Structure 1
Amino acid sequence: MSRSTVYRHWPTPAAVLAALIDVAPLPPGEASGDLARDLHAAVDQLCDRLRDRPVGAFLQALIVAAATDPAAAQLRHRYVGDLLAPFHTVLRAAGVAATDRDDAVAAIVSPLLLDALLLDRPAARTRAHRIIDSTARRLTP
């Protein structure tokens, strides 16, 4: 496909990225009601996306584009929000307070994104599961 064909449909690079983000979210999984099990399912889905789909490369492209284009910065926030949404949904359904929810999501997801984006290695699924188990014990009365 030529560049002119792409720009006929999307006038700017940010518009191309926005169109890709529109098709990126995955449908939410079925909740079991068990906090740890549902978080494990969400982390497995994210690890699969980081491994099988160009999520890491796409985020890297958004980071580069955001350095010079404020619209791309907004897209980066939107895309990362979509990646984090399943974790927030699970924690919200479990009645976890917003502050604890944000901390738990950061603790679970940050190492995975560090692996994928900065260290060029597979997301450490086993480590993420250990973090989930620890977090779920802390958040469950």
Structure 2
Amino acid sequence: MTRPGRPAGPTTDTETLVLTAALQLLLAEGAAALTAQRLHQVTGASRSTIYRHWPTPGAVLAALIDVAPMPPAAPTGDLAQDLHAAVDQLCDRLRDRPVGAFLQALVVAAASDPSAVRLRHRYVSDLLAPFHTVLRAAGVAATDREDAVAAIVSPLLLDALLLDRPAARTRAHRIVDTTAGRLFP
């Protein structure tokens, strides 16, 4: 039995249109541009549709994060090889415009919007998930896992976010080798 009334969510076309425009606005103008009025101006989608499904800029950011994750590859059992693959994936994602710039925009938004802090943490957690998956599959204890991920990923994020340069893939691979050797001497 169908129920009368509005559908539960936007149509796929509307969602794609609005979120694509939102990403472009975010990259060009920052998170403050993610208002229903501005999205309406850019997309032509009705303000009521935008307000109903994405009532705040934070809701738009959350929707963008929902469509962003890449599932981690299944670990092969070779710790170093799997960590090298995770490094390559992260370096590629940080190099590609939307991911690196999106992360920078989340950092800026979090400076003035406490709700964006939670979204930034969620987004970064998605970026770190492949490393955690590999280390968990290798039986690395949680504390050692956190330290290993921080050692490997921190320089990459420093390059991409603060130094505005490509992530140093070669250095990250050296850190992977050192970390893997420390975890499994």
Query: Any unmatched runs of 5+ in structure 2?
Result: 1-20, 22-37
Q: Counterparts of 1:83-98 in structure 2 under 5 Å?
A: 83-98=127-142
Query: Which residue number corresponds to residue 56 of structure 1?
Result: 100
> Highest Rg: 1 or 2?
2
Distance 1:88 1:53 in 2: 24
Structure 1 residue 49: Cα displacement: 0.4
Distance in 1 (CA, whole Å) between partners of 2:97 and 2:126 is: 15
The CA deviation string for residues 68-111 of structure 1, in whole angstroms up to 9 with x for no partner, is 22211100010011111110111011111111111100000000
Unaligned runs of 5+ in 1: none
Cα RMSD (Å) of the superposition?
1.5
Q: How far apart are residue 48 of structure 1 and its match?
A: 0.7
| Residue 63 (structure 1) shift | 1.3
Identity %: 82
Asked which structure has the greater RCO (Cα within 8 Å, sep 6+), the reply is 1
Count residues in correspondence.
141
Structure 1-normalised TM-score? 0.93
1:16 CA drift (Å) = 1.0
Name the SS of the counterpart of 1:54 in structure 2.
helix
2:164 paired with 1:128: no
CA distance in structure 2 between the aligned counterparts of 1:137 and 1:3, rounded to whole angstroms: 50
Does the alignment pair 1:19 with 2:55? no
| C-alpha contact (below 8 Å) 2:75/2:133 kept by paired residues | no
Q: Amino acid of the residue matched to residue 70 of structure 2?
A: L
TM-score (norm 2): 0.72
Matches within 5 A, 1:69-88: 69-88=113-132
